[in-house]
Each structure stands twice: as C-alpha cells, then as structure tokens.
Amino acid sequence: MDFTLSKEHEMARTLFKDFAEKEAKPLAQEIDENHRFPRETVDKMAKLGFLGIPVPKEYGGQGCDPLTYAMCVEELSKVCGTTGVIVSAHTSLCCDPIQTYGTEEQKQKYLIPLAKGEKLGAFGLTEPGAGTDAQGQQTKAVLDGEEWVLNGSKCFITNGKEADVYVIFAITGTVEKRGRVSKEISAFIVEKGTPGFTFGTKENKMGICGSSTYELIFTDCRIPKDNLLGQKGKGFNIAMHTLDGGRIGIAAQALGLAEGALETTINYVKERKQFGRAIGAFQNTQFQLADMATKVEAAKMLVYKAAMKKAEYAKNPKISYSVEAAMAKLYAAEVAMEVTTKAVQLHGGYGYIREYDVERMMRDAKITEIYEGTSEVQRMVISGSLLK
Amino acid sequence: MKIVVCIKQVPDTKGGVKFNPDGTLDRGAMLAIMNPDDKAGLEAALRLKDEYGAEVTVVTMGLPKAEEVLREAMAMGADKGILVTDRVLGGADTWATSTTIAGAIRNLEYDLIITGRQAIDGDTAQVGPQISEHLDIPVISYAQNIKVEGDSVIVERQYEDRYHVVKAKMPCLITALSELNEPRYMTPGGIFDAYQKELTVWGRADLKDVDDSNIGLKGSPTKIAKASDKVRKGAGEKVTLDPDESVSYIVDKLKVKHVI
Amino acid sequence: MNLEEYKGVYVFAQQVDNEISSIAFELLGKAKDLAKDLNTDVTAVLLGSEVKDLADKLAEYGADKVIVVDDPELKVYRTEPYAHALSSVINQYKPEIVLVGATAIGRDLGPRVSARVATGLTADCTVLEIGDFPLQAIPGQEQKHNQLLMTRPAFGGNTIATIACPDNRPQMATVRAGVMQKIEPIKGAKAVVEEFNPGFTPDHKYVEILEVVKAVTDTVDIMDAKILVSGGRGVGSPENFKILEDLAEVLGATVSCSRAVVDAGWKPKDLQVGQTGKTVRPNVYFAIGISGAIQHVAGMEESDIIIAINKDADAPIFDVADYGIVGDLNKIVPKLTESLKAEIAAK
C-alpha cells in the first residue's frame, strides 16, 4: 500500500492550487453575494482542460485519472465551493455517462465539445416528487416516429440555465417483474434551445450561491430518436452508476471545503488575540484543530481511495466502486459540515459575518450532505452491501 | 525557428518567505519554483511558437531536483528539456554559470535564446548578457515586448524613463522581464505527458569548448568572503484607532520627529 | 595575469542624452574613498558622442582623470559599441577597480564587459570597502590585502553577502543607485582629460535602434525625495491616488507606489519602490494601502521613519513600520491632509 502521490499528481495539485488561488478565490465572495455564475472562471477552466480531466484524449479530454479530477474539484472547493460543483456536475454527471454509455456518434457530437469545455453539461434526474426515490419519476418520453417527445419537469438542476447539454431521465414504459409492475426509465441527451425545453424558477439557495440551480421544463419537447443514451429501459442503472461517480466529485468538494475552512482557521487563530495571547495558544483551540485535521485526513484517504477504485474500474468494468464512493461522500460531507461549523465557532463573532470566508464555507458545506444522494442514501448503499 | 530558453529553479522569496525565530531565513521551508522572469521568458517563447511555429528547448543548470522546472516548462508547452548537472559545476558564480550554460547551448541549434532578466534568489541580471558574450551574439536585455520579422527580432527594450525599439539579427539573446506577459498555466494532461517525455541530462563532459578553469567554484572569479541572513528591523508600534484619533496620532509623531 | 599591473579606481560615467546620470556622481563619491584607501586616483570613463564638455562636471564631483571615448556610434546606448569601448579602455589602462551603476544600462553593460575581459562582477552592491580576503587570516592560505570587498543583498533582501574578486582584475561591481553619497561639487575643479578611441566597426552584434520612446513624467525622482507618500493596491483605483497627492502636496512630498500599482497600470514604472523598482531611503515613508510584500520592503526599509496605514491588521508592512495605523485609508488620509494644513498654517 502506497500513500505517496506521484510527481505528476503533486504537480497537478500545484496547478489546481495556483489556479484556484489566482482565479477562483478573488471571486468567491462576490459571486456568493450576488448569486452570480462565474462564467469567466468557467471559460478559463475550459481553456486549460479542467472540464475534461478524466475524459480520454481522443474525445478532447486530458486523459488523466479520476484522482487528478478529484484533486481539481478539491483544490477549487478549498477556495470556492461553487466553482468546485460546477466542474463536478459537468464532468461526473454529464461527460461520464456519455463517455460510458454513449454511441460513437454521441461521443463525437457531445463528449468532445463538453470535454474541451466548449459546452457545459448538466444532469436531470430529480423531480419535485422524486428525490431520493428515483422511482417516483413523472417525466415521460414517448417515441413518435423518428423523435422522442418529452413532457414533465426536473428540479434542483446544477448548472441549470448555464449548461448546453443535459442528460435527462424519463419514463418510457412499464416493466413487469415477478408480478410487480414498475416504471421503465431511460436516459436521453437534450440540447439547450430545443423547442419545448424551457427553464422554470431559479432556486434561491443557502449555499453554493454562484451555481446556477434551475427547474427544467419539458413541454412536448421533441428530440431525435438517436439521442437515447444507452439502452432503452436502462435509465435507472445509468442514473445510479453515474451517481456513484458523481459522489466522488461531491466528496472531493466536501473535502476541499473542510480543508479550506481548516487552513483559514489555522491562520486566524495564530493572529487573533484574546486575553493577551493568540487564541491558538489555548488548549481548547489546539484540541479542536487536532480533531478537525484528523477527520480531514481520514476523509481525504476515503476520497482518494474511491477515486483510485474508479480508475481500476476503467480497466476492469467488473469492479464496483459504489460502496467506496458512498463511504467517501458520506464521511467527507459530514466532516465538511463539522469542520466548517467548528471553524465558524473558532472565529467567534467574525465567523458569523459574510466578510469572513468560513461563513460561506459553512453554508456551502451543508449541501454536500444532501445532493447526489443524501447521507441517508449513502448509509443505505453501504449497509445494503454489508447485508446482501 | 529554434528557441532555447534558460530557466532556473529558485526558492520562492515572494510571499513564501519564511523566517526562523531569530529572524534569519528558513530556506528549508520555502517552496522551489520556476524563477518568475524565466517563466515570462518561456511564455514569450511559447507565444512565438504559437504565432510563427518554433521548437522550444528549455535548459537549466542545477541539482537533479531542478528536473521539476523542466517538467513544468514542458507541461506548459516546451518541446524538450535539458538538465545540466554535475558536482564539478557546483558553487559557480555568474561567470562560471554563464560559461557552463554557453557550453551546453553550443551543442544546440538556435535562432533565439531567451533568459529571464534576473533570478529572485541572486538578483544579479548577469548570466543572460554573459552567455551572449561567450556565444558572440547580440544581446537585448530588459525586453518588454518581442516580435519576429524575417530573420530579425524587434524588441522593446526597457530603461528607467524610456524604452528603445531595437532590431537585431538572429541568432541573438533576449532577457525577459516578468512584466513581459502573464505566463500560461500548465494543463493537467500536459503534466502527465511531460513526465512521459525524455529528458536530456548533461554533465561536465557534454559541455562544448569549456575550459576546466572556467567552471564551478574553482572557475568563479568572485568569492564569498562572508554571508549572513539579514535580521529584519523589528516592528514598531501598531495602533487601531478611529480616524480622528489616527490623524492626531500621526501628527504627533511627525511633530516629535521634527518633520513638521 | 599580473595583478600588480592594475592600478586606479575607474567609474563608468553614465550619460543619457548627453546629460550625466546622478549615479555617476554617486560612484565618483565612493571611488574617492576607495582611492584614498588604496593611495591611488579616480578616473571617470565617459562614453558618448560629443560628450567632451561633460568632463569638467565629472571633475567637480571628484574625478582626477577623465577618459573620453567620443564617437557617433556611442550616441545612444547600445550594448555592443559601449561594451567594446569600455572593455578597450580596461585592456588599455588596466584599472584595478571598475564601478558601474546598477541601472538598466549598467546591468547590461557590466556583465557583457566582465565576460569580455574575463573577470568577476558583483551585482547591485550597497557597500564597497577595501579590506583583506579572506577577512580573517586562515593558516595555509594566502591572505590578500587591499581587496575590494563588495557587499550586496540577495534573496529579496533577506541575506547579505560580502564578495571579493581576489585573483582577477579589474575587480568589477555594479552599484545600486541612491546608496552611495556624492561629494559636494568643487566648483572649478579640473581633471586630466584624455581622449581614446579604439575604433568602431559595426558587426553582427550591433543592433539597430528603430525608435526611442520617452515616458512622460513631471515628478521628482522618488530617490531624491525627502518624504514619500506611497500607495499600494489598497488605494483601490488610479483616481483615488488623488487623496495621496493632496497629502503629498501639503508635506512637500512625492508620491510613489508599489509594484501592484504599476502592474495594474495606475502609475508609471519610475514611481515604483521595491526590488524591481527603486530603492528609496527618505526621511519619512508613508506606506498607504501597501501590504508590504518582501520585494517592496527591500526597497524602502532603510527609510528613517516608516508610517503605515492599512486596514488589514496582519499586513506584513506593520512588521517594518515604526508607526502602524490599522484603519481605513479613505477616512484617515483626507483628514490627515486637512489637519496638517491647519498645523502648517498655524506656524
């Protein structure tokens, strides 16, 4: 077992850190305050290949491993949770399913511009009545000649109005299995601008305020027959498998938020003085920091291990990384919430003020326990594997 | 066009300077980076490559660890890397460094050599012009803009209160200011590719037309008599007052010191 | 190389547009001290076109002898003809010490010449003295006397090294502007003027100057200012420098700035204090909205009194400031200007 990162990974981290500090950090506070999507940062990331890190070079990507990708999301999230999730949703939830399930034509048409960052991707599974329970889908797709006709809506969609390519799930029929009838779900690729595809309300969120979260509405939206992604009826599996990968991205985001809050707090306690000495000189502070750092390190191990397991899967599709991804996401998200909360506490009154980064980090951290499978769902996935 | 860029790995004195409790420099705690002026020189070369097409070779002299800056340069887009490293080259002053690098460059074909103006550890700005002298080619120092026109370069050469637009026939050497440009980032894929590329490592024996009396510590005309870390001047008073109190505080100090 | 053959302290007397640069006088001041210790004399080397008239001025500032190389090729500074001229003078006259200003010209000319005459060059010196090398006698090693000991900062001003050039001649140094003291000019002083022309044959190393573009500036050189009001990124905008200019006007001070301000295009480069700008040592230095990066501090920490105003209590500028005020410059500076106006009017 080797815990040493390769020189390539170390240098990639230097790159992501450098970029995050220079490009993402200066905007973090402003985009949070104004709920503004950081298009300029996305454009810069596109130019540098950050939007196609794990995509093979022949499809316009960087050809790197999932660990490099996770480190990118981690470093971005250290300074700006919004920037981290933009990359994560685009890469894990849009590029990845097209790369895994797409036909050669679909990859040429969609994956290449996505990986080059010429287009931004999003993923639409959640509906008002179908969050954790993906079977509660209402959106329908009906084949009419050479076209699928979509009707229904999706909510809480990250990169919502800013994306160009959407992976959308819809009911295409029913299946009967051992006498029980259930919905048959299929996946589709939908382009922005397709007639009948519109946007509903923009969500006003607690955190990751710069990310564009919208409702997607499909009203007799006709898409080409060829835009079916994967086999008809395999949508549920595609969604679940895609979310396994997505969880690594979100786990990396959570890890980054926790690390960012810890670093900020370490600097703060060295400088902030109370009762005539730096608050870092008090044992309470020291012990809090020790606990925070230990948990961050443990979270990092889980996240990196899940990313490395996904790399193994790339070589051998029989390998599953579902449990590792669930553990990484569950733990990193809870650590993010705990560490950012403690960071606010150690900042005292200043931690409650918008001017200080930890305030934003704490709000950003909360969502990591909820989206792409709540912590409860992760526990179901993990325990399910234990008791099968 | 063939461009050679000379780069150096230096401790990061910018922002990353760390001090020991006694006020001396904590070198071990400082990051090793590509010298900023050199990075601007590399960026200038890569832009010429983008615009006119060129092969960019980066050369560094240093410890084996200096491989890192060559890999970084290749991850940014340089085509080849050459590491000049040998124990007998250690302890070189600017003269011996320039004779060594000139000896390495004599093995290469080049139209243009770009170096940074100066390194942030030594701040001498001497090695670039000295290399040009050893190679008997023109030098244009302090370049703030570089263009290629036929077999010549046209460079804006900065001075304190002016700049000259200078035209020189290639081959020639240019020293770049960090103000020249904003160096590009590496790309993730470029990093992994850079580590796959072969790196040329040269030792003393590979240097062309260089006399033993001109390299390393022994070949350095300048000798260090004494070196010490400068203990920084301590902090004075620091006050947090409202604006009116701040003003009277400053006015009082200026009176006490007979400034007004 | 017979080191004994090399005699005299030589100064490269930089001129631009046929006007002698201040650094030349500073070097002459220092050269006089060194020459006294060595019991020799001071020679200025004046290169240019139609510059002979300037020799008297060099005499007033301490030159015993002036070697003039007057040639049309030397009208505007170009590396090759200047390097040819200076190295020819060195080969002909064999000086033991050659001092060059660490200016944009000197830092190009110095290394090129040192490489041509095959000697060492120490860059950006701040202290020059005559002494022994090694400093203390080491058994079994010859201790050489009357060596030029050249002290210079490195590592962004964090280390200081003293360097000698014991086995090569001349001993060459470039010297930072604003550090050495010029002497009070001696009116009517005359020097021995000697003309020398090594002959100039343009070759492939001669570059062509297509254009000379002068940056317009009507301000006092910040290195000569007694009081500097210096602004950083924290000032916020080029327009907001007005409040610094108002303060400077009341105090008879000059406005300068940090590198960030020059990089942002708010102020010209010649107002920049710091490692890549100018080293200043005014009586009073106001650092307003300047965080105090090490590169900046290296250029101003020798100031007699440093007053810093910054809203960030942890800004490193407070580590060197004699008086640090944590607060909003926009509120403090205009009030300070008003208050000083009243104080001065009351006198």
B39-65: burial string, b at 16+ Cβ within 10 Å, e else: bbbbbbbbbbbeeeebbbbbbbbbeee
Query: Does residue B225 belong to any structural domain of this protein?
Result: no
B12 and chain A in contact, CB less than 8 A: no
Beta carbon pairs, B and C, within 8 Å: 268
Query: Does residue B254 belong to any structural domain of this protein?
Result: no
| Best CA proximity match to C94, nearest among C144, C151, C56, C43 | C43
pLDDT tens digit at each of 347 positions of chain C: 788 899 999 999 999 999 999 999 999 999 999 999 999 999 999 999 999 999 999 999 999 999 999 999 999 999 999 999 999 999 999 999 999 999 999 999 999 999 999 999 999 998 999 999 999 999 988 999 999 999 998 776 678 889 999 999 999 999 988 778 889 999 999 999 999 999 999 999 999 999 999 875 555 688 878 899 999 999 999 999 999 999 999 998 999 999 889 888 899 888 999 877 788 888 899 999 999 987 788 789 888 889 999 999 989 999 899 999 999 999 999 999 999 999 888 86
Taking only Cα atoms into account, the Rg of chain B, rounded to an integer number of angstroms, comes to: 22
Q: Which residues of C touch B126 (CB under 8 A)?
A: 107, 110-111, 114, 121, 123
B185, B187, B195 ranked by CB distance to A8: nearest: B195
Q: Which residues of B touch C206 (CB under 8 A)?
A: 138
Q: How confident is the model at residue B12 (pLDDT cuts 50, 70, 90)?
A: confident
Query: Does residue B223 belong to any structural domain of this protein?
Result: no
* B4 pLDDT higher than 70: yes
CB–CB contact B164 C211 (8 Å): yes
Query: Does residue B155 belong to any structural domain of this protein?
Result: yes
CB C257 within 8 A of CB C231: yes
Q: Of A23, A75, A259, A372, which is the active-site residue?
A: A372
C294 and chain B in contact, CB less than 8 A: yes
* B231 pLDDT higher than 70: no
**Helix (H) or strand (E) segment spanning residue A77:** helix A66-79
* B145 pLDDT higher than 70: yes
Active site residue A263: no
B188 and chain A in contact, CB less than 8 A: yes
Average pLDDT, chain B: 91
**DSSP codes, A87-141:** HHHHIIIIIHHHHHH--HHHIIIIIHHHHTTSS-EEEE--BTTBSS-GGG---EE
Distance (Å) from the C-alpha of residue B227 to the closest C-alpha of chain A?
32
Helices and strands per DSSP (H, E), number in chain A: 13, 10
Determine how many CB atoms are found less than 10 A away from the CB of residue B19.
15
Distance (Å) from the C-alpha of residue C257 to the closest C-alpha of chain B?
15
B189 and chain A in contact, CB less than 8 A: yes
Using CB atoms, list chains with 3+ pairs below 8 Å to chain A: B
Using CB atoms, list chains with 3+ pairs below 8 Å to chain B: A, C
The residues near A277 (Cβ < 8 Å, ≥ 6 apart) are: none
Number of domains making up chain B:
1
A8, A50, A61 ranked by CB distance to B191: nearest: A8
What pLDDT shows up at residue B23?
Answer: 55
Q: What angle do CA C310, C312, C318 make, to 5 degrees?
A: 65
pLDDT tens digit at each of 388 positions of chain A: 788 999 999 999 999 999 999 999 989 999 999 999 999 999 999 999 999 999 999 999 999 999 999 999 999 999 999 999 999 999 999 999 999 999 999 999 999 999 999 999 999 999 988 877 777 889 999 999 999 999 999 999 999 999 999 999 999 999 888 888 889 999 999 999 999 999 999 999 999 999 999 999 999 999 999 999 999 999 999 999 999 999 999 999 999 999 999 999 998 898 787 887 889 999 999 999 999 999 999 999 999 999 999 999 999 999 999 999 999 999 999 999 999 999 999 999 989 998 889 999 999 999 999 999 999 999 999 999 999 8
Q: How confident is the model at residue B235 (pLDDT cuts 50, 70, 90)?
A: confident
To the question of pTM greater than 0.80 for the whole model, the response is yes
A328 and chain B in contact, CB less than 8 A: no
Q: Which residues of B touch C133 (CB under 8 A)?
A: 223, 225
- Closest residue of chain B to C338, computed from CA coordinates: B247
Question: What letter does residue B242 receive in the DSSP assignment?
Answer: -
Distance (Å) from the C-alpha of residue C58 to the closest C-alpha of chain B?
22
What pLDDT shows up at residue B256?
Answer: 78
What pLDDT shows up at residue B232?
Answer: 56
Distance CA A230, CA A97 (A): 9
Higher pLDDT, B17 or C173: C173
Identify any residues that bridge with B11 across adjacent strands, giving them in sequence order.
B32
What pLDDT shows up at residue A177?
Answer: 82
Query: Does residue B234 belong to any structural domain of this protein?
Result: no
Q: Which residues of A touch B191 (CB under 8 A)?
A: 8, 11-12, 15
CB–CB contact A15 B186 (8 Å): yes
Q: What is the pLDDT of residues C103-125, one digit of tens each?
A: 999 999 999 999 999 999 999 99
Distance (Å) from the C-alpha of residue C43 to the closest C-alpha of chain B?
23
* B75 pLDDT higher than 90: yes
What pLDDT shows up at residue B15?
Answer: 52
Q: How many CA atoms lie within 13 A of A137 on its CB side?
A: 25
| Best CA proximity match to A255, nearest among A159, A334, A343, A370 | A334
CB–CB contact B130 C156 (8 Å): no
Using CB atoms, list chains with 3+ pairs below 8 Å to chain C: B
Distance CA C120, CA B47 (A): 35
- Over residues B158-166, mean pLDDT: 91
B68, B72, B187 ranked by CB distance to A49: nearest: B187
Q: What angle do CA B2, B195, B175 make, to 5 degrees?
A: 35
Distance (Å) from the C-alpha of residue B199 to the closest C-alpha of chain C?
29
Distance CA B83, CA B202 (A): 6
B95, B123, B222 ranked by CB distance to C115: nearest: B95
Q: Are strands A180-191 and A228-229 parallel, antiparallel or unpaired?
A: antiparallel
Query: Does residue B96 belong to any structural domain of this protein?
Result: yes
CB C298 within 8 A of CB C321: no
A7, A18, A64 ranked by CB distance to B188: nearest: A64
What is chain A's length?
Answer: 388
What pLDDT shows up at residue C218?
Answer: 52
What pLDDT shows up at residue A234?
Answer: 95
Query: Does residue B250 belong to any structural domain of this protein?
Result: no
Query: Does residue B232 belong to any structural domain of this protein?
Result: no
B124, B225, B238 ranked by CB distance to C124: nearest: B124
Determine how many CB atoms are found less than 10 A away from the CB of residue A379.
14
CB–CB contact C135 B164 (8 Å): no
Q: Which residues of B touch C275 (CB under 8 A)?
A: 123
- Closest residue of chain C to B23, computed from CA coordinates: C158
Q: Which of A41, A48, A58 is the best mutation test for B, with the most CBs of B within 10 A?
A: A48
Distance CA C136, CA A365 (A): 63
Helix, strand, or coil here: A22? helix
CB–CB contact B189 A63 (8 Å): yes
B32 and chain A in contact, CB less than 8 A: no
Q: Which of C105, C214, C336 is the best mutation test for B, with the most CBs of B within 10 A?
A: C336
A42 and chain B in contact, CB less than 8 A: no
What pLDDT shows up at residue C219?
Answer: 55
What pLDDT shows up at residue C106?
Answer: 97
CB–CB contact B188 A57 (8 Å): no
Q: Which of C121, C213, C275, C291 is the best mutation test for B, with the most CBs of B within 10 A?
A: C121
Distance CA A374, CA A249 (A): 14
CB B65 within 8 A of CB B9: yes
Please identify which residue in the block is written with the tokens 């590396």.
C79
| Best CA proximity match to A55, nearest among A143, A130, A119, A1 | A119
CB–CB contact C123 B94 (8 Å): yes
What pLDDT shows up at residue A70?
Answer: 98
- Domain ranges, residue B14: 2-214
What pLDDT shows up at residue B255?
Answer: 83
- Over residues B18-32, mean pLDDT: 66
CB A107 within 8 A of CB A149: no
- CATH of residue B179's domain is 3.40.50.620
**What's the order of all strands across the beta sheet hosting C159-164?**
B223-229, C159-164, C144-154, C127-133
Please identify which residue in the block is written with the tokens 């290469």.
B108
Q: Which of C3, C100, C141, C155 is the best mutation test for B, with the most CBs of B within 10 A?
A: C155
B68, B71, B185 ranked by CB distance to A19: nearest: B185
C25 and chain B in contact, CB less than 8 A: no
